[in-house]
Amino acid sequence: MAKDKKGKSHKEERKEYTFNKLKGLGQEIIEDIEQNKVPSVRVPSRGTGNIVYDEAKRYYVLGDRYGKRSLGNVKQIRKMGQMVYVANFCKDLVAREKTATIREMYYVSEGWGISFKNQQESNIVGEDLEVTLGTTREDLGLMPEEDGASVYGDITLTDEVEINASKMGKSGYTISPTIDQVELGECNVDKVLAVETMGMFHRLVQENAHKRFNCLIVGLKGQAARATRRFLKRLNEEKGLPVYICNDGDPWGFHIAQVIISGSAKLAHVNHDLATPDAKFIGVTASDIINYDLPTDKLKDVDVLRLKELSKDPRYKSDFWQTEIKKMLKIGKKAEQQSFSKYGLEYVVDEYFPAKFEEMENQA
């Protein structure tokens, strides 16, 4: 495992940082009590008015507005108590190097005497904690319920044991929710190709696209989970690999790509760990639909509305996005990435991706 100057691994560093943050939160409350002060916690606001698109960083960030949660306010006592319980629960997880799903935490809270009305409420308190401490839910030991996406290709990963993602069967390595605890080792590729559907992922693996393009293939499984976005960012930053994204040619595919590139408003407090601003969307574009004469479906009213929303979103202000959005609205059509199968199963690897990568190289 890679070590820093003090001999600590990336995993050990993050554990120590998170544990100290949790411990410090408790100590602040205790100090307030000892000094006869009313305990309070400052929680950064996650309201839409405090979410700002940072032009320099190229992703959404939180502004400087804060809310105050105090035991001196009757309406906030319950929320404050819930946050303290969740923090204590997470401190125990981190100390014992254990994890729990957000669903498990919700059920565990039934024994706290200050339980949640529903899981949505417990999820919100968990998010409040991560934004207050400046850490991530995963570092706190809280895991999502969904299965991870997959990566296939020549990269060595170490999480207790060393594995190579090209030798894990045709389904590849499932990206761990605790991906920051996984060391990225030897990586003998020069790019990453992330695709929206697992159907396309398996097609690329079957056609040996990882060898043909000397790349890692990442199957996003729709909207990329936080761990998947973090993995892509680490590959880009730590391994210097360019990231290319190929999704369905519709407003929802555009959005999935842009969340990887510029982050989401909802996760503005952790976009610095998740967004990969240099990642490139290579298709399926409205231009591809026309140039490759792809099978299409007519845009629904909800698609048209979404495209118009995207056109006003600061993440889509570049000439590329504005052109593709207007073109899709003009033709009134959308297409799935697997529509290239019209020309045969191998066409997407034999023709489409080589042309796209050549186009990217010419633009560099």
Average of pLDDT values for 143-151? 81
d(CA 197, CA 287): 20
Residues β-bridged to residue 334: 297
d(CA 313, CA 276): 18
Does the pLDDT value for residue 3 go beyond 70?
Answer: no
Binning pLDDT at 50, 70 and 90, where does residue 146 land?
Answer: low
Provide the pLDDT for residue 140: 95
d(CA 21, CA 218): 33
d(CA 151, CA 167): 11
Does the pLDDT value for residue 224 go beyond 90?
Answer: yes
- Cα Rg of the chain (Å, integer): 23
Average of pLDDT values for 42-59? 93
Q: Give the alpha-carbon dihedral of 195, 198, 203, 206, to 10 degrees.
A: 110
Provide the pLDDT for residue 7: 64
Provide the pLDDT for residue 144: 82
Structural contact between residues 218 and 192, judged by C-beta atoms closer than 8 angstroms: yes
Of all residues in the chain, the percent with pLDDT exceeding 70 is: 97
Average pLDDT in the chain: 93
Binning pLDDT at 50, 70 and 90, where does residue 1 land?
Answer: very low
| Tokens 């909207």 found at | 223
Average of pLDDT values for 182-209? 95
Binning pLDDT at 50, 70 and 90, where does residue 213 land?
Answer: very high
* Known catalytic membership, residue 173: no
DSSP state of 240: -
Binning pLDDT at 50, 70 and 90, where does residue 177 land?
Answer: confident
Provide the pLDDT for residue 243: 98
Does the pLDDT value for residue 218 go beyond 50?
Answer: yes
Q: Which domains does the chain have, with CATH numbers?
A: 10-143 (1.10.10.10), 150-363 (3.40.1360.10)
Does the pLDDT value for residue 4 go beyond 70?
Answer: no
Of all residues in the chain, the percent with pLDDT exceeding 90 is: 82
How crowded is residue 329: how many other Cβ atoms within 10 Å of its Cβ? 17
Which of the pair, 113 or 219, is modelled with greater confidence? 219
The closest alpha carbon to 216, from 227, 205, 226, 229, belongs to: 205
Provide the pLDDT for residue 9: 74
Provide the pLDDT for residue 114: 83
Average of pLDDT values for 167-175? 88
Provide the pLDDT for residue 6: 59
* pTM, entire model: 0.87
The closest alpha carbon to 231, from 159, 313, 308, 307, belongs to: 159
Catalytic residue among 17, 107, 152, 292: 107
274-322 pLDDT, tens per residue? 999 999 999 999 999 999 999 999 999 999 999 999 999 999 999 999 9
